[in-house]
Structure 1
Amino acid sequence: MSGGKSDKNVPVYLDLVPCHGCGACAEIAPELFGMDQDVERPFLKTPEGPEDSVRQAMAYCPNDCITTDE
């Protein structure tokens, strides 16, 4: 096992219902998430992304708003 970063892309989903707009996802994975400053909520830039980035954003989301199928 290499221990290096995975370059596998996985689907990413964002549930805005429990989201309180902390912006952690956009800070952790700016290639996947942006912040809409008008409504203070994140948005997905792409429907899938590198597994490592998705998992890291999932780990830091305080309200478990980010999920994947994998």
Structure 2
Amino acid sequence: MAREVEVDQEVCIGCGLCASIAPEVFRLNDGGVSEVYNQSGAEEDKIQQAIDSCPVSCIHWR
């Protein structure tokens, strides 16, 4: 089973970095914070780059 990525929206500051790195996976919602809208939108290494780039470490694999 493939890993899934999730965003802790309580911690997210809405910087948009993840959405700029992997727009096929992440977007900012109406509340101005990141959400995952397409789990299979990018390869795991690209998603990992977004995770590693998050300034508040709110994106995680589950």
Q: Is TM (by shorter chain) over 0.5?
A: yes
For structure 2, the residue ranges without an aligned partner over 5 or more in a row are none
Q: What RMSD, in angstroms, separates the aligned Cα atoms of the two structures?
A: 1.6
Partners of 2:23 and 2:3 lie apart in 1 by 16
TM-score by structure 1 length? Answer: 0.73
Q: Identical aligned pairs, as a percentage? A: 37
Query: Aligned-pair distance for 1:43?
Result: 1.4
Q: Is the 8 A contact 1:21 1:41 kept in 2?
A: yes
Partner of 2:55: 62
Alignment partner of 1:43 out of 12, 32, 35: 35
Structure 1 ranges of 4+ moved more than 3 A: none
Aligned length: 60
Letter in 2 for 1:41: V
Partners of 2:3 and 2:24 lie apart in 1 by 14
Summarize the alignment of residues 5-44 of structure 1 with structure 2, pairs less than 5 Å apart. 10-36=3-29, 38-44=30-36
Query: Equivalent residue of 1:21, what SS?
Result: coil
